[in-house]
Amino acid sequence: MTSKTVGPTPPENLTPPQQSMPEVNRLTSGDITASLKAGFSDFLARPVMSGFFGLFYAVFGILLVWSLVWLGKIWLIIPAIVGFPLIAPFAAAGLYEMSRRLQKEEGFGWSEILTVMANQRKREMGWMAFVTLFIFWVWVYQIRLWLAIILQDASFSDFDGFLNIVFFTPQGWTFLAVGTCVGAFLSAVLFSVTVVAMPMLLDRETNFVSAMLTSLRVVAESPVVMLGWAAIISVTMLLSLVPAFLGLIFTLPILGHTTWHLYQRAVSSAEE
């Protein structure tokens, strides 16, 4: 005699549907050029608001260097300046939202953009910020490690003394060579996992792991083009730091807007 189960029948599949990964497109140098033009156009459309984000980033950089001088951490100034651009993608969230609204021809003001930025703390952007800051911390820590190993007997009483040791001694040249190789590796890793992940997290509902995997797929699909884009970002950002960080007022917004348009070309729309 068979018994019957009393109660509602459970669904056959209790596993939530898996989110499909978006399609990525192969990019060309023409996509970089077109994205740069669109990014510059977005900057000109709202120069004051765009420049505000660049100014905020520049002021943060100035305060960072001043704090290191005040604390007597002279050896950290160059690593901080070189590694400072690593956190630029996260700082450009407001620029991505501006470009998104301009592209859709939606009106917006300060409150709309700042509200969207504030709301990112409730989404996956916070995890991406953690990834970015963690890699920045690794960068600073490994510089401290190589300083201890290679320049162990050197003392840095002032910034000029630090520059003299680093640039005019054999130990300093070794330190620069090792630091450059390690820094290039960390920059490549961070660029690969964030180049389209940041705008993707702002644009659609997804998790930060999927966004990073999509970013890696974009780089793998168009390695030469993305290497060129990474070089443009690196050179532009480093040159912008020379005039007391003030060049960032213009370059950060343009690069931020450009990144949004490059993301649009690299990752198929969620509506497709």
What b/e string do you get for 159-180 counting C-beta neighbours within 10 Å, with b at 16 or more?
Answer: eeebeebbeeeeebeebeebbe
Which of residues 97 and 167 earns the better pLDDT score?
97
Which of residues 182 and 120 earns the better pLDDT score?
182
pLDDT at 157: 63
For residues 195 and 184, the answer to whether their CB atoms sit within 8 Å is no
- Determine the longest span between alpha carbons in the chain, in angstroms: 93
For residues 98 and 50, the answer to whether their CB atoms sit within 8 Å is yes
pLDDT at 7: 45
| Spatial distance between the Cα atoms of 239 and 133, rounded to a whole number of angstroms | 22
Q: Give the number of C-alpha atoms closer than 13 A to the C-alpha of residue 52, restricted to the C-beta side.
A: 11
Q: Give the number of C-alpha atoms closer than 13 A to the C-alpha of residue 226, restricted to the C-beta side.
A: 24
Which of residues 178 and 73 earns the better pLDDT score?
178
pLDDT at 271: 57
pLDDT at 153: 58
Which of 5-14, 194-203, 247-256 shows the lowest per-residue confidence on average (mean pLDDT)?
5-14
Average pLDDT over every residue of 208-215: 92
pLDDT at 184: 84
Residue 75 CB neighbours (<10 A):
20
pLDDT at 32: 96
pLDDT at 261: 95
| Residue 127 tokens, joined | 């995890």
CA Rg value for the chain: 22
Q: What are phi and psi of 123, to 5 degrees?
A: -115, -155
| Spatial distance between the Cα atoms of 25 and 266, rounded to a whole number of angstroms | 5
Of the candidates 64, 85, 61, 68, the one whose C-alpha atom is nearest the C-alpha of residue 186 is 85
The pLDDT tens digits for 32-65 are: 999 999 999 999 999 999 999 889 888 888 888 8
For residues 162 and 73, the answer to whether their CB atoms sit within 8 Å is no
| Spatial distance between the Cα atoms of 136 and 222, rounded to a whole number of angstroms | 26
| Spatial distance between the Cα atoms of 166 and 174, rounded to a whole number of angstroms | 9
pLDDT at 155: 61
Average pLDDT over every residue of 65-76: 78
| Spatial distance between the Cα atoms of 161 and 175, rounded to a whole number of angstroms | 15
The pLDDT tens digits for 160-209 are: 777 788 788 888 888 888 888 888 888 888 889 988 998 998 888 888 89
- Give every CB contact of residue 110 below 8 A, 6+ residues apart in sequence: 49
pLDDT at 24: 93
| Spatial distance between the Cα atoms of 24 and 242, rounded to a whole number of angstroms | 36
